[in-house]
Amino acid sequence: MSQQNGSEHNGQARQGTFAVKAGLAQMLKGGVIMDVVTPEQARIAEEAGACAVMALERVPADIRSQGGVARMSDPRLIKEIMAAVTIPVMAKVRIGHFVEAQILEAIGVDYIDESEVLTPADEAHHIHKHKFRVPFVCGARDLGEALRRIAEGAAMIRTKGEAGTGNVVEAVRHARAVMGAIRRLQTMDEDEMFAYAKEIQAPYDLVQQTAELGRLPVVNFAAGGIATPADAALMMQLGVDGVFVGSGIFKSSDPARRAKAIVQAVTHYNDPQILAEISEDLGEPMVGINLDTLREEEKMAHRGW
């Protein structure tokens, strides 16, 4: 049967509402979103049980080693990946580059990542994401940054971590910063909450909503440095809703096996017996980078504001 547009079915149907945008992120929870650079890799990810793929030309580890300006991927590559799999396909745009976002919306990607992994296009403004029908995910290092992105229309948040390093330490730092801040927020009275909203430069209504919910108002994944099933389970136990794995899968020696193991680890993150079983014989993980050997200007997490 041919696919038909929802709006043609129902005069009263409303597309692109925040509930519809945030709702897809809710369906991705408990899942793994994998970076892929070819349709073949996308098929491997789907077979392994990825809940979505991120289509791009170079994984962060290669962007890091090759240098140069990193931009939105060729729409043709993204369309080929969309045609290869039935799961949702995400793609990245540069921070502030709303025309790259218009292009991705036009080709029908399911989610846009306004990403610090690419070279920023605007050093003051992020994309006004409420204007789009396609939902956005954005990176954050702390609660203030997460709530600023939500105010701009992000329907999903991910910790930034430090992409392309295979080192989970920054993802842990950022997840702990967000979760810790939410726990402190819940002990505050209203006077303190006004002062705190000002301190973290976040809209007061979102700060108040976060305190009431005891979590971010949208789904929150971990990203940036996850390379093993244990890394993925660690992030889940720290309280995130799911994980992005970038270079960690296709820069390892046995991507299909590692991808499957990380998917299982995110479902069974609280079951050490299962985690032990799936961590066996995965081959070599990506080599990884120690963060103290990276110069400050080489860190991607500082991009975005």
- Tokens describing residue 212: 């009431």
CB nearer another protein, residue 28 or residue 206: 28
160 noted as active-site residue: no
Interface with another protein (CB under 8 A), residue from 71, 77, 79, 87: 87
Q: How far is the CB of 201 from another protein (least distance, A)?
A: 30
Segment interacting with another protein (CB under 8 A) among 13-21, 57-65, 67-75, 229-237: 13-21
Angstrom distance (rounded) from CA 35 to CA 55 = 6
Phi, psi at 36, each rounded to 5°: -135, 145
- Tokens describing residue 28: 């991705």
Could you say whether residue 220 binds another protein (CB under 8 A)? Answer: no
What's CA 271's distance to the chain center, in Å? 24
Could you say whether residue 27 binds another protein (CB under 8 A)? Answer: yes
Residue 43 neighbours by CB distance under 10 Å = 16
Q: List the x/- string, 126-165, binding to another protein by CB under 8 A.
A: -------xxx------------------------------
Contacts of 257 (CB under 8 A, 6+ apart): 281, 282, 283
Angstrom distance (rounded) from CA 28 to CA 44 = 18
In eight-state DSSP terms, residue 155 is S
Residue in 21, 79, 92, 129 annotated catalytic: 92
Contacts of 61 (CB under 8 A, 6+ apart): 164, 165, 166, 246, 247, 251, 286
Total of residues contacting another protein (CB under 8 A):
55
Q: List the x/- string, 237-276, binding to another protein by CB under 8 A.
A: -----------------------x--xx-xxx--x--x--
Could you say whether residue 69 binds another protein (CB under 8 A)? Answer: no
CB nearer another protein, residue 22 or residue 193: 22
Could you say whether residue 222 binds another protein (CB under 8 A)? Answer: no
Q: What is the 3-state secondary structure (H, E, C) of 92-124?
A: EEECCCHHHHHHHHHHCCCEEEEECCCCCCCCC
Q: How far is the CB of 127 from another protein (least distance, A)?
A: 16
Angstrom distance (rounded) from CA 210 to CA 185 = 8
Interface with another protein (CB under 8 A), residue from 108, 203, 214, 283: 108
Interface with another protein (CB under 8 A), residue from 60, 88, 161, 246: 88
Residues with catalytic annotation?
A: 92
Chain residues binding another protein by CB under 8 A are 1, 3-17, 19-20, 23-24, 26-31, 43, 46-52, 84-88, 105, 108-111, 133-135, 260, 263-264, 266-268, 271, 274
